A and B are shown apart, each in its own frame.
Chain A
Amino acid sequence: MNKLFLNKYLRFVSVVLLYSFFQGCTPDEEDDIYIQPIQTATIQLEFAHQVDGQDLILNTSNKPFTNAMGQHYNVSKLRYLISNITLHQINGAQTKLEGYFFVDLSKPETFNYSPIIQIPFGSYSGVSYTFGFDELSNESGKYATLNAANWNWPEMLGGGYHFMQLEGEFIDSSNNDAPFATHMGTARKIDSTGTTYEANHFTSFVPNSNFELNKAMTLVLTMNINEWYTHPINWDFNQYGAGIMPIYDAQKLLNKNGKDVFTATIH
């Protein structure tokens, strides 16, 4: 093979390669089918808290709130657990927010700066949530952050985790300050047949939570504390004040009363 032949051969190959390269860059007609991208917008989730329209302020020196039984109280602590928050589209599609939300009213980062989620444009019929963990998720010791927060529900009461700790003081029937600790979790039932444990979470669809998503929005779930203590049954702090965790009837009553504690606003 002489040098001249090799030189010509290489030039030819280079031209072919360059042609192929630029051909590859031109749009191929078959690729021109336009796929409509799913339009999405961010939705931010926030939790807010009030008592029949009053802002919930912790550790007031007086007893600014009044429950349905006319008992005056204040609140020193509120922590609760929410999971399975689901956004329902009218077309049946659902977007479920992964994981759980552990709200602690003493830590604004747990309710003011909630994660921003990207969801599809469209008409939404509303929002549902599970208060606490469902049976599958309520597994003792499974969540490191909750373990470090002593959020576990005692094994002898069925294990898993607390769903809520709502604490404060009320003015009791003797007109004295008395503590209450509305703690919620698995309901232990002891009767003649033995001991059983009933899952005590509930799932609710928030009323009037429909919205049209065509831009970034904020979904605010507002808990009205007094709804834990009424509808359908009024709660008496003198009966269920401190130490209610082992009391089956108190746990079941929270389950009944709690289903309407949240309302939603979307803006």
Chain B
Amino acid sequence: MKTIQYKIPFILSIIGILFVVSCVDDDPIEPVTPTGCDTCLVEYNPTPYNLKLPPFFSVLPTPVIPKNNPLTVEGIELGKKLFYEKKLSINNSISCSSCHNPDYAFNDQGVAFSLGAMGQSGIINAMPLFNLIYADSYNWNGNAATLEEQIFGPVKHPLEMMESWPNVAIKLQNDPSYVTLFKKAFPNETIDSITTSKAIAQFLRTLVSGNSPADNEFGSQLGFPINGRVLTVEERRGFQVFSDQEKGDCEHCHGNSYNPLWTEYTFRNNGLDLNPDSGRAAVTKLASDVGKFKVPSLRNLIYTAPYMHDGRFNTLEEVVDFYDQGVEPNSPNISVDMFHRTGANGHIINLSPQDKKDLVAFLKALSDPSFVTNPDYRP
């Protein structure tokens, strides 16, 4: 009995000594790579992120977040870093933000076609990025069904980043900060196209714009709390032009005071050309889809010039003039909503100069200054 009583303290002392010894810096004997040190204590234990939507947006269906890519604080943080990461391009020259600039509602500043990694010109206008969580397809022709799928494209596109996904993965794997961030954001430690696109998609889903004067006007009419000014008298007149079936009739494609998305995400030919680009038909291969493009949101227009899928109009005045007089009625598959009356001239509206001025004022009031200055969206 006595022997055992003495043995216990002795064993404990040995364990204690071993414990202390294990804490001694043993660098000279076993050098540890920086990667191993930085990540060995990192655990996957993500914090769920509750996306805050403007109260007024409750007039819309609740957006669905894919079950295989839930929003987490860690995933969004990683996605933001990747969105601004130039290593995604072949020569580390451009990032997503090069063509999707937060100062301009994530649109490219003032250019019809953005430049790729080698300075080569694109062939379609970069779309602004906001409220993407509500869309059911992405790109002007809707060739990506999900945000994750959309993100695969630009990295390897010969007119954009020109990089291969395996190369992107290697570059990121060699950066210890990414090893840590990926480990925090995803259950396996793989850094590849799937986890990279998932992280960027998470960040993009947090880009919510819902604080324009028009939001305040229509939200307050329904009793929702607002944060800023409502429409001016001129802008309200402009909304009447917008809504009037015998004037703008913008509603059928771009929505109304109960749809703060200002689009229904359908594909339409608005009659730009007699021989239009293939548009949606590039995806569906249907002749009936030639010339149709995604109806863009009218939100944040003051930051997103030039306009149309090919950036052909530099100002909103030019856009309104086009819809007023310039629609090509014989364009194939042209939307019926381009015609305001029965008869040969049904596509001509004849807005008065005052109507046009008011309409442009209203369109500008769909812009949300708090969106382009939101620090959460910046690196």
Contact = CB atoms under 8 A, between A and B. Distances in A.
Interface of A: 58-59, 61, 76-77, 140-141, 144-145, 147-150, 152, 154-157, 167-168, 174, 176, 178-181, 237-243, 245-246
Given A149-B264, A150-B253, A243-B245, A141 B286 contact: no
Nearest to A152: B256
B220 to A, nearest CB: 13
B269 to A, nearest CB: 11
B139 to A, nearest CB: 19
B342 A178 contact: yes
A179 B258 contact: no
Contacts of B343: 178, 241
A155 B258 CA distance: 11
Interface stretch (B153-161, B162-170, B226-234, B333-341): B333-341
Given A141-B258, A156-B243, A147 B59 contact: yes
Which of B246, B288, B342 has most chain A Cβ within 10 Å?
Answer: B342
B255 A240 contact: no
Contacts of A157: 245
A242 B339 contact: yes
B287 A61 contact: yes
Given A154-B251, A179-B336, A242 B259 contact: no
A-B pairs with lowest CB-CB distance, top 4: A241-B342, A59-B288, A141-B258, A242-B339
17 contacts: A144-B59, A147-B59, A147-B258, A148-B134, A150-B254, A152-B255, A152-B256, A155-B256, A174-B344, A176-B344, A178-B343, A181-B336, A237-B342, A240-B342, A241-B341, A242-B339, A242-B342
Interface in B8-31: none
Contacts, number: 99
Given A178-B342, A180-B336, A243-B342, A155 B257 contact: yes
Contacts of A246: 245-246
B318 to A, nearest CB: 24
A157 B61 CA distance: 25
Given A150-B253, A241-B346, 15 more contacts: A76-B333, A76-B336, A140-B258, A148-B61, A150-B251, A152-B255, A152-B256, A154-B243, A154-B245, A155-B256, A167-B336, A181-B339, A242-B339, A242-B341, A246-B245
B124 interface: no
Contacts of B254: 150
Which of B254, B286, B343 has most chain A Cβ within 10 Å?
Answer: B343
B259 A147 contact: yes
Chain A binding surface SS class: loop
A154 B240 CA distance: 10
B264 A156 contact: no
Contacts of B346: 178-179, 241-243
B60 interface: yes
A41 B260 CA distance: 42
Interface string B32-70: 000000000000000000000000001111100000000
Given A155-B243, A155-B257, A150 B264 contact: yes
Interface in B314-345: 333-334, 336-337, 339-344
A13 B182 CA distance: 64
B341 A150 contact: no
Nearest to B346: A242
A156 B240 CA distance: 8
Contacts of A58: 288
B137 to A, nearest CB: 13
A148 B258 CA distance: 8
B285 interface: no
B244 interface: yes
Nearest to A161: B258
Contacts of A168: 336
B279 to A, nearest CB: 14
B7 interface: no
Interface in B283-326: 286-288
B274 interface: no
Nearest to A245: B245
B59 to A, nearest CB: 5
Contacts of A174: 344
Contact of A144 (B61, B246, B249): B61
B252 interface: yes
Contacts of B264: 148-150
A174 B286 CA distance: 29
A155 B256 CA distance: 9
B283 to A, nearest CB: 14
B82 interface: no
A141 B59 CA distance: 7
A181 B333 CA distance: 14
A168 B335 CA distance: 9
A102 to B, nearest CB: 12
B361 interface: no
B90 interface: no
A238 B337 CA distance: 17
B147 interface: no
Contact of A181 (B134, B255, B259, B337): B337
